[in-house]
Amino acid sequence: MAENSLHVVDPEIAELIKAEERRQADTVKLIASENYVSKAVLAATGTVLTNKYSEGYPGKRYYEGQQVIDQIEALAIERAKAVFGVNHANVQPYSGSPANLAIYLAFLQPGDTVMGMGLPFGGHLTHGWSVSATGKWFNPVRYGVRKDTGRIDLDEVREIALRERPKLIFCGGTAIPRTIDFPAFAEIAKEVGAVLAADIAHIAGLVAGGAHPSPVGHADVISTTTHKTLRGPRGAMLMATSDEHATAINKAVFPGLQGGPHNHTTAAIAVALHEAATEEFRDYARQVVLNAKALAEELISRGFDLVSGGTDNHLILMDLTPKGIGGKPAAQALDKAGLETNYNSVPFDTRKPFDPSGIRIGTAGVTSRGMGVAEMRQIGAWMDQVVSALAKDEDEAKHVITRVHGEVRELTSHFPAPGLS
Ligand code: DSN
C-alpha cells in the first residue's frame, strides 16, 4: 500500500537506497568478496520472516508458531547438503566471523592453540589474528606464503604444526589467489590430531559450481559466508560430515553464541542454494575463473606485479610497489573512475594495513552481470591507465579518471546487474 511504502514513511532512507542502487549499477564491482544477488534472493530477504523468533532448530524450538519457519530452515539445510555434498549443515550463523567463532567454541578451550594463515598473507581476522578475539583468547600460530612464489609452503605448514601441535587448523582466507590443497591440509591436521576447518567463504560459489576442488572428505568442518561467490544474502553456514562434529557445531551456534536465527536470511540462503544447483550457476562459476585469468593476463602484460604470478580462482592480489604508488591512493582513484576495488596488504608488506602496497580484485560481480573475457581486457586497460596516470601526475590523472568514468558508465549500461531495477 502506498501509504506504507518506504518512500512515504522514510523518504530520506528511500532516496539513499535508490542512490546506492544507481551507484552499484554504474560501477564495475571488482571487490572480491561482493556480488549481485538475484531479485529472488532480494525478495526473500525483505519479507515478514523478519518478524519471527525461532531459537532452536527445526522440530526443537523455544517459541511457538514455527510451522512455516521449520519448513524454510529444513529446506535450506537440505539444499546446502545437496549442493555441497555434506551430511550436515547449519544455516544459522549471522555471518562469517560468528560462524568461525562457533568453530572455536565447538572444539577449543580458551588458551588452546589455533593455526591459521596470517592476515597479511591472505588469512582472515578470525583465523587467530592478534586484534581478533580469536587471537586474544586463544594461542595463535601462523603460516604464510613463500616469498619467492607467493604460494603456501605446505612443508612449512607441516613443520609449524608438528612444532606447535595446534588443536585447530584453518585453511582458506580472504586474499588467496590460488587453489587450496585441502587433502594436504587434511594430512597435516591428521598427523597432529587437529580439527581441520576449511574457510571457503571466498570460493564457496566456485566449489558449488565445480570450479574449485571441494573440501568435503578432507576438512572436518567447513565454514562459509553465503554472499560472496555463492551469490546469496549476507549470512553464513557451517557444514560437517560426521555426526560428532555436527552436534558440536550446532550447540556452539545455538545456544553457545547466538540467539534467534535471521529467518529472512535463511529463506534467502535457501533461494541462493536453489540457484546454485543449476547448470546456469555452473557456467557462471566457470566464467568467474576464466574472467579472473583473463584480467590477470591483461594486468601482467601491462607490467603489474601479481602475488603468486596469477590466479586459479576469482581473486587477484597485486602489489603496486613497482608502479611507484600505494594501494590506497590507487583504489581511491580507481573508485573515482567507477572501478571499485579495495586496498589490501600483500605478503611481506612493508607498509601499514591502512595504507598498504596492494589492491585486491575479484571477478564474481562482473561475471554476474554477464561480462566476459573482452570486458576483462578492457577493465585491465582502464586500471593501467588510471594507475599509471596517478603515478605520473595528479592533473593528468584527473583527466584520465573523468574519461575512464564515462567509458565505464557506457560499458555498465550494456550489462544490467541482477537484482537492480
Ligand atoms: N570482509 C571479507 C572480505 O572482504 O574478504 C572477509 O571477511
* pLDDT tens profile 350-390: 999 999 999 999 999 999 999 999 999 999 999 999 999 99
For atom 3 of ligand 1, the residue with the nearest CA is: 33
At 29 the pLDDT is 98
* pLDDT tens profile 101-150: 999 999 999 999 999 999 999 999 999 999 999 999 999 999 999 999 99
Strands (E), 146-220: 168-172, 195-199
Q: From ligand 1's centre to the CA of 231, what distance in Å? A: 14
At 6 the pLDDT is 95
DSSP 3-state assignment of 86?
A: coil
Strands (E), 195-294: 195-199, 221-225, 236-240
Best of 131, 132, 202 to mutate for ligand 1, by most ligand atoms within 8 A of CB? 202
Distance between the two ends of the chain, CA-based, in angstroms?
A: 20
∠ Cα 402 380 123 (to 5°): 110
Structure-derived torsion over alpha carbons of residues 406, 410, 415, 421, reported in degrees to the nearest 10: 80
Among residues of the chain, what percentage have pLDDT more than 70?
99
At 108 the pLDDT is 98
- Which three cell numbers mark 29? 564491482
Question: What is each CA distance from 313 to 156, 206, 257, 323, in whole angstroms?
Answer: 23, 8, 32, 24
Instruction: Return all residues near 138 (Cβ < 8 A) that are at least 6 apart.
Output: 104, 108, 110, 111, 112, 113, 114, 128
* pLDDT tens profile 194-225: 999 999 999 999 999 999 999 999 999 999 99
Mean per-residue pLDDT, 61-87:
98
Among residues of the chain, what percentage have pLDDT more than 90?
99
- Say how far residue 350 (Cα) sits from the centre of its chain: 25
Q: From ligand 1's centre to the CA of 174, what distance in Å? A: 6
Strand 305-306 versus strand 113-117 pairing type: unpaired
* Run of H or E residues at 290: helix 279-301
The yes-or-no verdict on residue 4 having pLDDT over 90 is no
- The answer to whether the CB of 123 falls within 8 A of the CB of 173 is yes
The yes-or-no verdict on residue 3 having pLDDT over 80 is no
Tracing cell 541462493 back to the chain, one arrives at: 272
354: DSSP letter:
T
Query: From the alpha carbon of 96, which atom of ligand 1 is closest?
Result: 7
Q: Measured between alpha carbons, how far is 229 from 420 in angstroms, rounded to an integer?
A: 18
- Which three cell numbers mark 30? 571488482
Average pLDDT, the chain: 97
- Which three cell numbers mark 35? 556480488
Residues annotated within the binding site for (6S)-5,6,7,8-tetrahydrofolate are 119, 123-125, 244
At 421 the pLDDT is 85
Best of 174, 226, 317 to mutate for ligand 1, by most ligand atoms within 8 A of CB? 174
Mean per-residue pLDDT, 178-184:
98
At 24 the pLDDT is 98
At 85 the pLDDT is 98
Instruction: Return all residues near 394 (Cβ < 8 A) that are at least 6 apart.
Output: none
As annotated, the active-site residues are 53, 55, 199, 225, 228, 234
Mean per-residue pLDDT, 161-183:
98
* pLDDT tens profile 401-413: 999 999 999 999 9
- Which three cell numbers mark 57? 532448530
Q: Measured between alpha carbons, how far is 170 from 222 in angstroms, rounded to an integer?
A: 10
At 305 the pLDDT is 98
Mean per-residue pLDDT, 240-260:
98
Mean per-residue pLDDT, 339-356:
97
Q: From ligand 1's centre to the CA of 225, what distance in Å? A: 9
CB neighbourhood size of 191 (10 A): 11
Q: How sure is the predictor about 2, in pLDDT bands with cuts at 50, 70 and 90? A: low
- Which three cell numbers mark 395? 592533473
- The answer to whether the CB of 358 falls within 8 A of the CB of 345 is yes
Smallest CA-to-CA distance from 142 within 114, 101, 107 is with: 114
Best of 97, 124, 224 to mutate for ligand 1, by most ligand atoms within 8 A of CB? 124
Give percent helix, percent strand, percent coil of the chain, each to the nearest 5: 50, 15, 35
Q: From ligand 1's centre to the CA of 33, what distance in Å? A: 6
Query: From the alpha carbon of 34, which atom of ligand 1 is closest?
Result: 4
Q: From ligand 1's centre to the CA of 34, what distance in Å? A: 9
Instruction: Return all residues near 322 (Cβ < 8 A) that are at least 6 apart.
Output: 303, 304, 305
For atom 1 of ligand 1, the residue with the nearest CA is: 33
Smallest CA-to-CA distance from 240 within 406, 43, 56, 84 is with: 84
DSSP 3-state assignment of 317?
A: strand
Strands (E), 84-188: 88-90, 113-117, 139-143, 168-172
Mean per-residue pLDDT, 261-289:
98
Instruction: Return all residues near 115 (Cβ < 8 A) that are at least 6 apart.
Output: 128, 140, 141, 142, 143, 157, 160, 161, 164, 166, 168, 169, 170, 194
The yes-or-no verdict on residue 179 having pLDDT over 70 is yes
Strands (E), 190-278: 195-199, 221-225, 236-240
- Domains in the chain with CATH codes: 43-276 (3.40.640.10), 287-412 (3.90.1150.10)
The yes-or-no verdict on residue 1 having pLDDT over 70 is no
List, chain by chain if needed, residues with CB within 6 Å of any ligand 1 atom.
33, 96, 124, 174
Query: From the alpha carbon of 97, which atom of ligand 1 is closest?
Result: 7
- If one compares 71 and 4, the residue with the highest pLDDT of the two is 71
* Run of H or E residues at 360: strand 358-362
At 371 the pLDDT is 98
